[in-house]
Amino acid sequence: MSTISLGRHAQLAALPSHLCVFHESYAELRARQRDFLGLALNDRNEGALLFGAPGLPEQQMRDLEVDLGRSLDDDVRIGKLVLIHSDPDPDVCLERYRGALEALDQRGYAPVRAIGRCTWSLPGFPLPEDQLWLELRVGELIESSRAILLCAYDLATLPASAVVYGGFEAHSQIVLAGQLIDNPSFIGSDRYFVDRLLHLPWLAAS
Amino acid sequence: MDGELAAAVIDALGTQVVVVDRSGDIVWVSAAWREASGRCAADPLATAEIGSNLIRLLAATKQPSAEATAAGIAAVAGGGRPRSVGKLSTADASTQWLIIARELPVPDRGAVVTRSDTDSGYPAPPPGAADANELRDAIASLSPRELEVLRLMTRGLDNRAIAANLGIAYTTVRTHARSLIEKLGARSRLDAVARAYRSGVGSTR
């Protein structure tokens, strides 16, 4: 099994990996993305991917440019850095992830470092129940790739149900305060669909 | 702001908070925490009052997630980590809480621990829920192909996997999926799946 560093002086994670990273402000996420994606953008072989509601990946890219001290336009032009937008349809989101990973692979970029920002009830993003379905399916997509995906969960803005059902139950490992830790609350994909997604409390009466 | 005023603000916000010292002994409990503990009889932290040790109470549940949460709180309270996030549930997992520990901004003073119920932040349920008869009629209105797609959706498959399974184009599956979601009066893919599953359509195996 190969491994990949989560940042300068950071721990190694298995490749591929689908991880959850908790943060409490955009500034904290920005520092994490600089450390994590900066490694890819400063390495000729690696690729980088940003996923989020329309406008968010562009904002993150602009902040990366400031933090890395250079324009990333060429990285986008040659397909080394890919920005993908969410869609209310979770299957469209999944297809966009799949297409971006395949394109990066075909251009010879490996491994791929990706950050996806979880939002809950935001326009342009799948509804909460579909967001959880997307977590499940993206996790399986990543398993067959050469990518490491950090799903960013903002503790300051997301409700407990999003953090517990999405962050904790859909990721086998968690990055917390820079530490990569095994997650005992993780539910494997088969059980997650049957035991969690088919019985979400807010859908029980629908 | 003095301590009394700060406590009043926390109580006014309804936030479930305890403050622990470096060893995990509880030195302060908010009114919302006390009130929440009385609400759930199976709450593993119902006895988390001033003087008890929060880390030992969590570890005593013998839940792996609670034990990890206890270890995280111990690390924060002991000054080894700025923040920890954990999960706790009742023994039957019917109620779950998110537990966040943050270091106090005063050296060697322990941690502040907040607790949130997962059921306090549920999204709004879908509007216009169909009754059982309406749902049966809606399912009966699906075309044979839409019904096949729905059955595979209840197994959790994505559109590309469904297309491969049925030997049809991805875009055709996408069209069927969107159509059946609308016919079932669902607001989302998983809402349609949950409705169908409860009506006995499909299988998770």
pLDDT tens, A70-110? 999 999 999 999 999 999 999 999 999 999 999 999 999 99
* Minimal C-alpha gap between A129 and chain B (Å): 6
Q: In what order do the strands lie in the sheet with A147-154?
A: A81-85, A47-52, A112-117, A147-154, A17-23, A173-176, A179-182
Those residues of chain B that have pLDDT short of 50 are: 205
User: Contact at 8 Å (CB) between B63 and B84?
Assistant: no
CA-to-CA distance for B16 and A149, rounded, in angstroms?
A: 33
Question: How big is chain A, counted in residues?
Answer: 206
Please state the pTM of the whole predicted model. Answer: 0.93
B116/A160 Cβ within 8 A: yes
What's residue B203's pLDDT?
A: 59
Does residue B98 sit in helix, strand or coil?
Answer: strand
User: Other CB atoms closer than 10 Å to residue A69's CB: what's the count?
Assistant: 6
* Minimal C-alpha gap between A176 and chain B (Å): 7
B194/A130 Cβ within 8 A: no
User: Other CB atoms closer than 10 Å to residue A28's CB: what's the count?
Assistant: 18
Nearest to B11 by CA among B37, B38, B23, B29: B29
B123/A129 Cβ within 8 A: yes
Cβ-count burial of A122 within 10 angstroms (0-12 exposed, 13-18 middle, 19+ buried)?
middle
The pLDDT tens digits along chain A (206 residues) read: 799 999 877 789 999 999 999 999 999 999 999 999 999 999 999 999 999 999 999 999 999 999 999 999 999 999 999 999 999 999 999 999 999 999 999 999 999 999 999 988 888 999 999 999 999 999 999 999 999 999 999 999 999 999 999 999 999 999 987 789 999 999 998 899 999 999 998 888 65
